[in-house]
Amino acid sequence: MFGGLGPMEIIIILVVALIVFGRRLPEVGRALGRGIVEFRRGLREMNDEIQGEIDHRPSSRRGYDFESESSSRSESSQGVEERGEKEGIRNS
């Protein structure tokens, strides 16, 4: 059942826990429950923080517009050529 523990062993463990913890068993259960809730809350906050970082990251190459970059490059190279002609510099 639980990795080789039979029903009799589980009952013995529960009885020993009841004897050891006695009246404090409800307190231990509450503390354990609060610990689990805090752990889950921490995981959720960390997950939200990571997801927020992913959402705010610049878009990857998949969404990149290469055509607009090439047109802006050709326009800027034309501007350089025009400035060179004005200044009397020629490309050989």
* Domain map (residue ranges) of the chain: 24-56
pLDDT at site 1 = 45
pLDDT digits (tens, 9 = 90+) for 13-34: 989 888 888 888 888 889 999 9
Q: Could you give the CA distance from residue 43 to residue 27 in angstroms, rounded to a whole number?
A: 24
pLDDT at site 22 = 83
pLDDT digits (tens, 9 = 90+) for 66-89: 565 555 555 555 555 555 555 565
- Average pLDDT, stretch 46-64? 77
Residue 58 main-chain phi, psi, to 5 deg: -60, 150
Is pTM beyond 0.75 here? Answer: no
At 55, which helix (H) or strand (E)? helix 25-56
pLDDT digits (tens, 9 = 90+) for 31-46: 999 999 999 999 999 9
Token pair for 66: 């290469």
Asked whether the beta carbons of 81 and 91 are under 8 A apart, the reply is yes
